[in-house]
Amino acid sequence: MHKALAAGLFLALSNSANAGEAFSWTGSYEGFVACDRVMNGAPSTFGRALELHFVQDGNVLHIATEIDDPSLGNKASLYNGLVMASPAGDFTSGYLEACQSRFPYKELIRIFPASTTSDKFGFSASTVFVTDNLPGAEGALLVENCRWSATRVSRDVPKIKKCETPPSAN
């Protein structure tokens, strides 16, 4: 009886691990980012086209973004973080943090649960961005909350620069 229970538990755990490993975020995505911004107390909003390139190594996710921003030129940022699949492997979610930029800032991204079973994989995310060192506006406190929405357009493995520091598990 104990052997049967142990075998059943092993198979259940193996199947959930395999289901989680079967899905990969790796590929290129296109989408849109819409942000609410407050700089030195003055609110504003903006939206931009978004291009993302993901490489997944186990449960670590590396992302390079390109945002077409007329005021900054083409803005590129790097992120890394952790992703997890649901026990059945039918949903995945995670978080990322910015790790490299042209200027110092803090940015965290929360990826909402996304279905891995649809024909066209896409996801939604929310970010919080804070800096007081924006080029051209040094000393002005900038806080942004953004909503991302993107769909995978290619499963090819992109060549991206990865963060030098591993994501924190905190």
8 Å CB contact between 56 and 79 = no
2-154 CATH fold: Lipocalin (2.40.128)
Find all residues with CB under 8 Å of 70, minimum gap 6, and list them: none
8 Å CB contact between 111 and 98 = no
Judged against a pLDDT cut of 70, whether residue 17 lies above it is answered with no
Q: Which pLDDT tens digit goes with each residue over 129-170? A: 888 877 777 888 889 999 999 999 999 999 988 887 777 765
pLDDT of residue 151: 97
What pTM value is reported for the model?
0.77
Pair of tokens at residue 153: 């357009």
Q: Which pLDDT tens digit goes with each residue over 85-94? A: 999 999 999 9
> What percent of the chain shows pLDDT beyond 90?
49
- The two beta strands, 73-85 and 60-69, are antiparallel
Q: What is the average pLDDT across 52-81?
A: 80
pLDDT of residue 11: 33
Find all residues with CB under 8 Å of 69, minimum gap 6, and list them: 48, 75
Average pLDDT, rounded, for the chain: 81
Higher local confidence (pLDDT), 103 or 119: 119
* CA 4/CA 2 separation, integer angstroms: 5
SS3 category, 125: strand
How buried is residue 45: exposed, middle or buried, by Cβ count under 10 Å (0-12/13-18/19+)? exposed
Nearest by Cα to 55 from 31, 85, 30, 80: 80
